[in-house]
Structure 1
Amino acid sequence: MPRIDYFFSTISPFTYLAGTRLEEIAARHGAQIDYRPLDILALFGRTGGVPPKERHPSRNEYRAQELERGSKKTGLPLNLKPAHWPTNAAPASYAIIAAQSAGGGDMGALCYGILRACWAEEKNIAEDSVVRGCLEAAGFDPGLADSGLLSGAETYAANLEEAVNRGAFGSPFYIVAETDQRFWGHDRLDDLDRHLAGEL
Structure 2
Amino acid sequence: MTQIDYYFATMSPFTYLAGGRLEEVAAKHGATVKYKPLDIMALFSRTGGTPPKDRHPNRIEYRLQELKRVAKHNDMPINLKPAHWPGNMAPSAYAIIAAQNAGGGDVGGLTQAILRACWAEEKDVADESVIREALSAHGFDPELVNSGLLSGAETYSRNLDEAVEAGAFGAPTYIVGKEVFWGQDRLDYLDDYLAEIS
**How does the TM-score come out when normalised to structure 2?**
0.98
1:44 equivalent in structure 2: 44
Amino acid at match of 2:85: W
| Whole-angstrom CA distance in 2 between matches of 1:107 and 1:127 | 19
Unaligned runs of 5+ in 2: none
1:82 equivalent in structure 2: 82
| Whole-angstrom CA distance in 1 between matches of 2:191 and 2:166 | 20
Q: Deviation above 4 Å: which 4+ runs of structure 1?
A: none
Output one character per residue of 1:135-191: Cα deviation in whole Å (capped at 9) or x when no partner: 0111111111111211100000000000011110000000013xx111000000000
Report the number of matched residues: 197
Amino acid at match of 1:76: M
Output one character per residue of 1:103-159: Cα deviation in whole Å (capped at 9) or x when no partner: 010011000000000000000000000000010111111111111211100000000
1:194 equivalent in structure 2: 192
Amino acid at match of 2:69: R
Alignment of 1:39-188 (within 5 A): 39-177=39-177, 180-188=178-186
| Whole-angstrom CA distance in 2 between matches of 1:4 and 1:90 | 22
Output one character per residue of 1:4-25: Cα deviation in whole Å (capped at 9) or x when no partner: 0000000000000000100000
Amino acid at match of 1:49: G
SS in 1 for 2:196: coil
**How does the TM-score come out when normalised to structure 1?**
0.97
Tell me, yes or no, if structure 1 residue 26 matches structure 2 residue 20: no
CA RMSD of aligned residues (A): 0.7
Unaligned runs of 5+ in 1: none
| Whole-angstrom CA distance in 2 between matches of 1:185 and 1:66 | 12
Amino acid at match of 1:78: I
SS in 1 for 2:91: helix
